[in-house]
Amino acid sequence: MNTQILEITPASLTRAADLIVNGQVVAIPTETVYGLAANALNIEAVKKIFEAKQRPADNPLIVHIYQKEQAYPLCHWTQTADLLAEAFWPGPLTLLLNKKELVPSIVTAGLHTVAIRLPEHQGALAFLKTCDLPIAAPSANRSGYPSPTSAQHVYDDLCGRIPLILDGGDCRVGLESTVLDISGKNPVILRPGFVTAEQIAMVTGSCEVADSVMRPLSTGEQALSPGMRYRHYAPQGQLTLFDGDPLHVAQAIISLYDHQPDSSVLAMEQHLPLYGDRLVYSLGEDAASAAHRLFYLLRSLDKQGIRHIYCESLPQTGLGLAVMNRLARAAEFDIKNV
């Protein structure tokens, strides 16, 4: 299959919507990461998402909409959902609500909840409006690879497997949406993202973070969010995280780096001088820029054939928790306290 990359124009939007209506898949930009879209109500189309990504069938998909009212036939909408939608939509927050019959169980992997998100990217909204259907879309990477934050990343992973990529530029946020379960009594974050627990609690009064966010699942443990079960966001090289005082972290990293060829370091901008002239990439000055750069950096280190990646930890507060959740998984929880 020939894979086209097209800028977002009225003509490419029409072409994309034609493909979707005809049961095909299309990669689309969002403010978080690129998604691989299909008509959520068409089982055969949704199957194509799983095939193209080589995604395990027990990992459910997020349904994307362009206006809140589209959620009503899909789920049992609640007052809490209304408050959160008012505060954070359009934007990088996904809500888990009890599903209605209309949503095929392939989308929810048989779960009783459905994940719903109204993105903020103008290209994504234009696409969703043109299709005027609920659109199932996971991140548009091969399963297990870092999520794509540019059209080129999608092409690198899915070339020949999908007909069209809509190019909406680099993703502003750079890591996936916050997944918030509001199907129970209290809101619980299953996957941290750009919208933080602190921000959600301002709206709902309280917000828990599932403790599995920062630890590996034990054998046989049921994952609240099936996606957390898999080795995720992983680069080809081996990633190790270091936590502690920046000076000690730099010393520990340097002593390993200097004995390993094909090594590279990911560090906060402020700490770059600690690493001298070694191969160091900046995560930027704060958690937001680390979020924006993380997947891009992991992919570019892979392209350079880097075998060992040593990375500084970030404080697990605010957006830092989302960055650390992705890093810890990419490192398979290899975190050294120094």
Residue 121 corresponds to which tokens in the numbers above? 């990217």
Region binding Mg ion by CB under 5 A among candidate stretches 138-146, 212-220, 257-265, 278-286: 138-146
Region binding ligand TXA by CB under 6 A among candidate stretches 11-19, 75-83, 137-145, 202-210: 137-145
Region binding Mg ion by CB under 5 A among candidate stretches 60-68, 139-147, 188-196, 261-269: 139-147
Buried b (16+ CB within 10 A) or exposed e, 68-89: bebbeebbebeebbeebbeebb
195 binds ligand TXA (CB under 6 A): no
CA 89 to chain centre: 17
Cβ closer to ligand TXA: 62 or 290? 62
Q: Choose from Mg ion, ligand TXA, none: what does 182 bind? Cβ within 5-8 Å by kind.
A: none
226 binds ligand TXA (CB under 6 A): yes
32 binds Mg ion (CB under 5 A): no
Residue 252 corresponds to which tokens in the numbers above? 């520990």
Residue 19 corresponds to which tokens in the numbers above? 């493909």
| CA–CA separation, 32 and 193 (whole Å) | 9
Q: How far is the CB of 197 from ligand TXA (least distance, A)?
A: 17
Region binding Mg ion by CB under 5 A among candidate stretches 83-91, 96-104, 134-142, 261-269: 134-142
- Of residues 33 through 62, those in contact with ligand TXA by CB under 6 A are 33, 35, 59-62
Residue in the structure block whose two tokens are 């490419």: 12
Cβ closer to ligand TXA: 166 or 274? 166
292 binds ligand TXA (CB under 6 A): no
Residue 206 corresponds to which tokens in the numbers above? 């309280």
How far from each other are the two terminal CA atoms of the chain, in whole angstroms? 50
Q: What are phi and psi of 269, to 5 degrees?
A: -50, -45
| CA–CA separation, 157 and 199 (whole Å) | 34
Number of residues binding to ligand TXA, judged by CB under 6 A? 28
148 binds ligand TXA (CB under 6 A): no
Q: How far is the CB of 158 from Mg ion (least distance, A)?
A: 13
| Sole binder of ligand TXA in the list 42, 139, 150, 264 (CB under 6 A) | 139
Q: Choose from Mg ion, ligand TXA, none: what does 212 bind? Cβ within 5-8 Å by kind.
A: none
176 binds ligand TXA (CB under 6 A): yes
Residues 6+ apart with CB under 8 A from 215: 333
91 binds ligand TXA (CB under 6 A): no
Cβ closer to ligand TXA: 60 or 268? 60
Give the residue among 36, 43, 337 at the shortest CA–CA distance from 158: 36
Rounded (10°) angle between helices 319-330 and 287-303: 20
Give the residue among 3, 34, 36 at the shortest CA–CA distance from 164: 3
Rounded (10°) angle between helices 10-21 and 122-131: 50
| Sole binder of Mg ion in the list 12, 139, 183, 325 (CB under 5 A) | 139
Q: How far is the CB of 232 from Mg ion (least distance, A)?
A: 7
149 binds Mg ion (CB under 5 A): no
Strand pairing class (26-28; 35-39): antiparallel
| Sole binder of ligand TXA in the list 12, 24, 32, 42 (CB under 6 A) | 32
CA distances from 142 to 56, 186, 286, 335 (A): 11, 33, 28, 25
Q: How far is the CB of 233 from Mg ion (least distance, A)?
A: 8
Residue 199 corresponds to which tokens in the numbers above? 């921000």
Binding site for Mg ion (CB under 5 A): 139
Binding site for ligand TXA (CB under 6 A): 30, 32-33, 35, 59-62, 92, 94, 96, 108, 111, 113-115, 117, 137-139, 176-177, 179, 190-191, 225-227
